[in-house]
Amino acid sequence: MTAKKTVKKTKYIFVVGGVMSGVGKGITTSSIGKSLQARGFSVTALKIDPYINVDAGTMNPTEHGEVFVLADGDECDQDMGNYERFLGITLSRDNYMTTGRVYQSVISRERNLEYKGRCVEVVPHIPMEVIDRIKRASKQADADIVMIEIGGTIGEYQNILFLEAARMLKNMHPQDVFFVLVSYLPIPSKIGEMKTKPTQYATRTLNGAGIQPDIIVARSDRELDEKRKEKLALFCSVRKEDVISAPDVESIYEVLLNFEKQHLSTNLLKKMGLRPKKNDLKDWNAFVSTMKESQKTVDIAVVGKYFKTGDFMLSDAYLSVIESLKYAAYSLKRKPVLHWIDSEEYETNPSALKDLKKYTGVLIPGGFGSRGIEGKIEAIRFCRENNIPYFGICYGMQLMVIEYVRNVLNIKDAHTTEVNPKTENPVIDIMPEQKKNIRQKNYGATMRLGTYPAVLKNGTIARKAYKSKEIEERHRHRYEVNPEYIARIEESGLIFSGTSPDKRLMEIAELPVAKHPFFLGTQFHPEFQSSPLKPHPVFVEFLKACVK
Ligand code: GLN
């Protein structure tokens, strides 16, 4: 018997931004993807970032927001985290590209004589490489529908080659490529009227790149009225029902429900010639309802740095941590209230530490460098001594171990060689195999990045949380707990409840519940594997201790 071979016609939906950035292209991409997935299609997503950086690893989080880490170790934009969380899928480095990456592969291909002596040009070779990358990602995911978000705003020089790639792809597959323009409609306070003109210009500019939007997602403070919809339809050559009103909503998880009220997925499927197989947003709806109905609060202090930029406080650098705290809190029907604390405050004003008692739990997320470190260590000590639930992630775990060694084992100069390379007691140190890379300033090669397995000890909080002996978690760090101190630390009560399978690397440290309600740190980043419909077990365990 021969199985009938059907050639899959993949559909591509490009999401581009008009008027200005930061109005929710990533959430629009994720939400549309999720709603199409709910109709029974396999969906994958790609992010295109116009900058030259090859990855997001070296970028300053204050400027760029969080560096998200994929299972394969790729360091990328935080939108990739949104795609994974909304779609519940695992993406790879093939789903992320930057101008730097695209040029790098074209240039190295040229150096390898793969263009066979032809003149290699910006056009068409750069857009062709972009298209190859999109197709590779779609093939790898075996996706029915590929969502592609082009970073930046129409009209910038930076993303023009990506728009050219999109135009070329549409030209190759006219029936299979679609465009969503996410644009902003301002309401100038002196005029008091919502203005469509900037979006009309954006559409014209997009037209100038040879692209006509199929859908316009109209972002604004308020709901779009009929008159504005008609105007946009008339001047931007779309149907009125293709103009989607996207007012500000309280939470990013509601955006999708708002789209669905306006039949966006049905509309898109019709355009794509696809018949929906189901309509299953039950779990998503339930999540949003719990989120809205949760009344009782849980107060968590997040002690970190990177918060201030000029007069603004920035929490984007910890986006995945914030979202993971929310999912865990909502799963317990609690409304999370997060408090941002700059750890440097404890260095200048130690009496502020006692304010930590106001919170039901304290979390210290990952970080690098020496700023604010002593303040963090003091906060950890305060939590340990006062039975305040403490959750340390990556640096937050390393500092927890340092605090323990300094104050319980009484080794006062215990430190990480990241901050004090000359310490007599390098409790946190580079593994010998990494030292050579550091000496050669080969920093890119010195991080432990991406997914690694760990095994958990019986009878521990970790084991109880995961309900499994073996786990896999994502990493992004250079330093490790120094094996020379492990025996001494464990003898004095802190348990390494999770280790690498060969037991060389310490993955989770915790105090037994008999000694402290929750004092636990993970060397890995659990926040990269938490989603609304699947809150991460360690975050849930932490929140349980907080609400107790
Ligand atoms: N700075 C620490 C290290 O490199 C921790 C990194 C992190 O928190 N992501 O090991």
Q: Would you state the pLDDT for residue 411?
A: 96
Instruction: Give per-residue pLDDT as tens, 80-129.
Output: 999 999 999 999 999 999 999 999 999 999 999 999 889 999 999 999 99
Select which of 76, 236, 394, 546 is catalytic: 394
Where is 450: in which H helix or E strand? Answer: strand 448-456
Quickly list H helices, 423-531: 432-439, 461-466, 483-491
Q: Which of 343, 393, 399, 418 to mutate to test the pocket of ligand 1 (most atoms within 8 A of CB)?
A: 418
Task: Report the mean per-residue pLDDT for the chain.
Answer: 92
Average pLDDT over residues 166-193: 95
Output the ligand 1 site: residues, CB below 6 A.
366-368, 394-395, 398, 418, 476-479
Q: Are 280 and 41 in contact (CB under 8 A)?
A: no
Q: Is the pLDDT of residue 310 over 60?
A: no
d(CA 253, CA 287): 9
Select which of 383, 525, 541, 546 is catalytic: 525
Residue 22: DSSP 8-state:
S
What spacing in Å lies between the alpha carbon of 364 and ligand 1's midpoint?
12
In terms of Cβ atoms closer than 10 Å to its own Cβ (0-12, 13-18, 19+), residue 466 is buried
Q: Would you state the pLDDT for residue 354?
A: 94
Active site residue 173: no
Instruction: Give per-residue pLDDT as tens, 215-253.
Output: 999 999 999 999 999 999 999 999 999 999 999 998 999
Q: Is the pLDDT of residue 437 over 90?
A: no
Counting residues of the chain whose pLDDT is more than 70, the rounded percentage is 95
Spell out the SS3 assignment of 129-157. HHHHHHHHHHHHHCCCEEEEEECCCCCCC
The dihedral built from the CA positions of residue 293, 389, 317 and 540, taken in this order, carries a sign that is negative
d(CA 173, CA 209): 17
Q: Hey, whose CA ends up nearest to atom 1 of ligand 1?
A: 368
Instruction: Give per-residue pLDDT as tens, 58-83.
Output: 777 667 778 999 999 999 999 999 99
Q: Using a cut of 0.75, tell me whether the model's pTM lies above it.
A: yes
Q: Is the pLDDT of residue 405 over 90?
A: yes
Q: Is the pLDDT of residue 144 over 90?
A: yes
Kindly provide the residue ranges of all beta strands, DSSP E only, lying in 271-423, ordered along the sequence: 297-304, 308-309, 312-313, 335-342, 361-364, 390-393, 415-416
d(CA 449, CA 220): 39
Residue 68: DSSP 8-state:
E
Q: Would you state the pLDDT for residue 54?
A: 85
Instruction: Give per-residue pLDDT as tens, 490-542.
Output: 999 999 999 999 999 999 999 999 999 999 999 999 999 999 999 999 999 99
The dihedral built from the CA positions of residue 390, 77, 79 and 276, taken in this order, carries a sign that is negative
Q: Is the pLDDT of residue 330 over 70?
A: yes
Closest CA to 536 of 391, 337, 400: 391
Active site residue 546: no
Q: Would you place residue 311 in the very low, low, confident or very high pLDDT band (cuts 50, 70, 90)?
A: low
Active site residue 263: no
